[in-house]
Amino acid sequence: AQSVTQPDIHITVSEGASLELRCNYSYGATPYLFWYVQSPGQGLQLLLKYFSGDTLVQGIKGFEAEFKRSQSSFNLRKPSVHWSDAAEYFCAVGAGTASKLTFGTGTRLQVTL
């Protein structure tokens, strides 16, 4: 069975500081990996995805993520956080682009000014 672990429930960073959100997955085959963001009272917005190829993927809003097969990880990074990045971030894994997704428990990001 596939699963996703996001070890950090809550992270606080200062505006302008760098950010890394951790995601570890368990999947028997080649995973399709996603990061979504959910702002308060909003739906989910896709930040980026990894299917194959270059293991460093770029997304929207200045986010990037690196796929490391040996560590079963897909960590999300941003060099300089903005106050508007405060939200809940979800990592997800699926069998393909059209398959159901299994989500992690999410990491709530707080940004201090």
Residues in the chain, total: 113
Whether 48 and 58 have beta carbons less than 8 Å apart is answered as yes
106 binds other proteins per the rule CB under 8 A: yes
Candidates 39, 47, 45, 46; CA nearest to 87 is 39
Mask for 14-53, x = binds other proteins (CB under 8 A): --------------------x-x-----xxxxx--x----
- The answer to the question of residue 3 lying near other proteins (CB under 8 A) is no
**Cα separation, 79 vs 15, whole angstroms:** 11
**Closer CB to other proteins, 70 or 97, in the complex:** 97
Residues lying near other proteins in the complex (CB under 8 A): 34, 36, 42-46, 49, 90, 94, 96-98, 100-106
